[in-house]
Amino acid sequence: MSTPAPAAAAAGWLALVATPIGNLEDITYRAVRILREAEVIAAEDTRRARILLQHYGIDHPLTSYHSFNEHHKTAQLIEQVRQGRKLAVLSDAGTPCLNDPGYLLVRDALAAGLEPLVIPGVSALTHAVVAAGLPMSTFVFGGFLPVKPGRRRTRLRELTAGQATLILYESPFRINRLLSELAEVLGGETPVALLREATKLHEECLRGSAAELLAKHGQRTWKGEFTVVVWLRALSDG
């Protein structure tokens, strides 16, 4: 079924489009159609966006829209939609607004009377929910922890105060550090799943306790993007 453009935007529309996190085939038919119909595409990383667009034979003007320019560029993009242009917005990978730019654009578009189109799809978060093999009836998404040690431990304690499964994003340079922190704050027996390079060629999911993973992989030099899943309910069940 074809999706009509919001009436408030007349001939123009604003669409936030979920894109693959690795494998270029992980995109919906609707997302490809919207990208083909768009007149302008705002992307967090124009180089990565161009790879995706070229894969699907799409050649539209690209403009950058990321955390360093969104505060002054949001109004410009909304004005283009008000003037009748069809605008699609892409994050670096996955779903806009989910630990990626997009919130300011949605907020200000709604304030301007424009109802954005949301084109759902893949994200590292939902991939981890399925792949971790841990209970997910209730979970908390913590995004990236702070870099500084004191703030990291404080934030980790805040996020683990309840009994929900915790999902984090983390840099490959801090995975061993995170495993050590989990063992210290929550106990070495805490179940953890490390999901590396989701949907990509070298995809890997490592499961075990924080102590087990640290003992087995603590000397490893990690590469790639990580989503970390921590089962907190096991602590209370013990």
Residues sharing a CB contact under 8 Å with residue 221, sequence separation 6 or more, in sequence order: none
**In the chain, % of residues over pLDDT 70:** 93
CB of 38 closer than 8 Å to CB of 15: yes
Q: What is the mean pLDDT of residues 78-94?
A: 95
Given this model, what pLDDT does residue 118 score?
95
pLDDT at 219 over 80: yes
Q: What is the mean pLDDT of residues 122-132?
A: 95
Q: What is the mean pLDDT of residues 137-150?
A: 93
The string of pLDDT tens digits covering residues 206-217 is 999 999 999 999
Report, at the CATH architecture level, how domain 7-119 is classified: 3-Layer(aba) Sandwich (3.40)
Report, at the CATH architecture level, how domain 124-237 is classified: 2-Layer Sandwich (3.30)
Q: What is the mean pLDDT of residues 65-89?
A: 95
The string of pLDDT tens digits covering residues 101-116 is 899 999 999 999 999 9
- Tell me the pLDDT of the chain averaged across its residues: 92
Per-residue pLDDT band for 159 (boundaries 50, 70, 90) equals very high
Would the CA dihedral through 139, 142, 148, 154 be positive or negative? Answer: negative
Alpha carbon distances (Å) from 178 to 65, 132, 167, 234: 30, 17, 13, 19
Please, where in the chain does CATH 3.40.1010.10 lie?
7-119
Inter-helix orientation angle 70-82/103-111, to 10°: 40
